[in-house]
Amino acid sequence: MFQEITKITSREEGTTSIVLVGVHGDERCGIKALEKILPNLKIERGTVLFGYGNPRAIKANKRFTEVNLNRMFNVDKQLTENDKKSYEYQRAQFLKTYLNKAEALLDIHASFIPSSKPFVICEANAKGIIEYLPVSLVVSGFDKIEPGGTDYYMNSIGKIGICIECGYLGDPESIEIAEKGIYAFLKARGHILNDVTPKKQSYNRIYDLYSTKTNNFTLSKNFYDFEEISKDQVIGMDGGKEVRANKDSIILFARSRERIGEEAFLLGEKKNSLT
Ligand SMILES: [Zn+2]
């Protein structure tokens, strides 16, 4: 069994950061990247914590076992009794004790949609770090529209939460992106002394989350992440009713659903800066 949390401290005093992998157990890229990185990693300043998000889901190679761990970091009053009885809720409480020790988080994910491009999820407070990550697309606004992730939790306690989506979970290149992402994060945070160059990035902000109104939501087609949607385009059918975008948008995480009240897709818009 792997060690759940690995702590590496250098002799030079400095800040503390945390890297999480496998918060969704079937998104293997972070787990694989960490296996490659950890044996030879030298931290030159400060402390870095590396953690496995959801060991039970990792073992089962599933996204989660009872509920989505990446919603269990929400405030208790937003969670159901069922949520609070889950393994994932308990796990979130355990992980919070480590998140509390760090000033910045990099949480590594991958998409279930083939041909997905890598991107970063963060808020404006992460600007000085994410511009060095090996990703050209940035999306903000999740804290408000879809709270409850690890990054949301960090931001809510006045720290910096960053989530990197490394592309399609079945694509070996996602492991490479995860590995490069971890190194870039450690350099940007000053744990590894090195020159870093900012990347050209484009910004998007999420403005809406569509939750299903019936137990039969079917997408009109498969949408890839950041696909452009035009005003009034039909996105899907919810119990026989057409669901449209009411302005030109980009779409994220779109999936057909078979239960009422489930997250079906997110809509966002392009921005000139990280807001
Ligand atoms: Zn994920």
Domain boundary assignment for the chain: 5-188, 202-271
Distance 11 CA to ligand 1 centre (A): 34
Distance 34 CA to ligand 1 centre (A): 16
Tell me, what's the pLDDT at 2?
60
β-bridge pairing 160-168 and 119-121: antiparallel
With 0-12 / 13-18 / 19 or more C-beta atoms within 10 angstroms meaning exposed / middle / buried, residue 149 is: buried
Distance 157 CA to ligand 1 centre (A): 22
Distance 141 CA to ligand 1 centre (A): 17
Tell me, what's the pLDDT at 175?
98
Could you say which DSSP state residue 258 is in? S
In 3D, which of 209, 200, 210 has the Cα closest to residue 274? 200
In 3D, which of 133, 159, 196, 182 has the Cα closest to residue 16? 159
Distance 22 CA to ligand 1 centre (A): 8
Distance 18 CA to ligand 1 centre (A): 17
CATH of 202-271, picked from 3.40.50, 2.40.50, 1.20.950, 2.20.28, is 2.40.50
With 0-12 / 13-18 / 19 or more C-beta atoms within 10 angstroms meaning exposed / middle / buried, residue 155 is: buried
Distance 273 CA to ligand 1 centre (A): 25
Tell me, what's the pLDDT at 1?
44
Distance 250 CA to ligand 1 centre (A): 19
Instruction: Give the residue ranges of the chain where pLDDT is below 50.
Output: 1
Q: Which residues fall inside 5 Å of ion ligand 1, going by CB? A: 24, 27, 109
Distance 111 CA to ligand 1 centre (A): 7
Distance 255 CA to ligand 1 centre (A): 14
Distance 63 CA to ligand 1 centre (A): 7
Distance 94 CA to ligand 1 centre (A): 19
> Tokens at residue 220, please?
């009109």
The residues, any chain, with a CB within 8 Å of residue 220's CB and separated by 6 or more, are 234, 235, 236, 237
Distance 161 CA to ligand 1 centre (A): 14
Tell me whether domains 5-188 and 202-271 share a fold: no
Distance 166 CA to ligand 1 centre (A): 10
Query: What global pTM score does this model have?
Result: 0.94
Distance 106 CA to ligand 1 centre (A): 12
Tell me, what's the pLDDT at 137?
96
CATH class name, domain 5-188: alpha beta
Distance 110 CA to ligand 1 centre (A): 5
Distance 181 CA to ligand 1 centre (A): 15
